[in-house]
Amino acid sequence: MPKSEYGRGFIYNLLLFNAHFYNAKTERIEIYNFVMQMPPEEKEKVLRDNPDMQHNYKWNKEVKFWFDRIVPLCSNDEKRALADEIRAWANGAVDHLEELQIPEQWKNHEIGELTQKMLKKAYVLTLYDEVTKPTFKDFKELKNLTHKIALAIDNALGVETCQAEWT
């Protein structure tokens, strides 16, 4: 079987791309967003040098570093800093979409349409400019699109599907 740096296929490349939603970088993005959404008094308790037991997570020091050292590099704009994290993640993940090939029978089908939408969204998240600032919502939408494609493939194959509550 021939080799490709990032894989070639449809389902295979979708699986490789989807795996990027379940790595350490993704976990950090989700944690940064979680802390950003906290009320200011809760956030302050989490970012203390010695948080109390109720606010002590395994990731406090890393998140404190991000808020204290990385966010200031982005003009103290947390949303911009998170956008940069999402861009970095996307630039690592989209490699697997380079040789993604939509099967002919699915190009003009829901599967092809969802895949085109996913590709567009994924590549937009990689753009480094002042206009495009990917959000956590964009990140979650991309993940959900990937899951919708998997469900659509199962449905096209005649498999009865049921969307997971926890993904």
Kindly tell me if the per-residue pLDDT of 167 is higher than 90. Answer: no
Is the residue at 63 inside a domain? Answer: yes
Q: pTM of the predicted model, to two decimals?
A: 0.91
Is the residue at 6 inside a domain? Answer: no
Is the residue at 49 inside a domain? Answer: yes
Is the residue at 56 inside a domain? Answer: yes
Q: State pLDDT tens for residues 75-98.
A: 999 999 999 999 999 999 999 999
pLDDT for 44 = 97
pLDDT for 101 = 95
Task: Give the number of domains in the chain.
Answer: 1
Q: State pLDDT tens for residues 30-70.
A: 999 999 999 999 999 999 999 999 999 999 999 999 999 99
| DSSP letter, residue 9 | B
pLDDT for 6 = 85
Is the residue at 161 inside a domain? Answer: no
Is the residue at 166 inside a domain? Answer: no
pLDDT for 1 = 75
| DSSP letter, residue 98 | T
Is the residue at 74 inside a domain? Answer: yes
How is residue 51 written in tokens? 């948080």
pLDDT for 159 = 95
The single residue listed with the structure tokens 């567009």 is 120
Q: State pLDDT tens for residues 1-27.
A: 778 888 899 999 999 999 999 999 999
Structural domain that includes position 146: 11-156
Q: What is the mean pLDDT of residues 111-117?
A: 97
15 exposure class (CB count in 10 Å sphere: 0-12, 13-18, 19+): middle
Is the residue at 163 inside a domain? Answer: no
pLDDT-based confidence at residue 147 (cuts at 50, 70, 90): very high
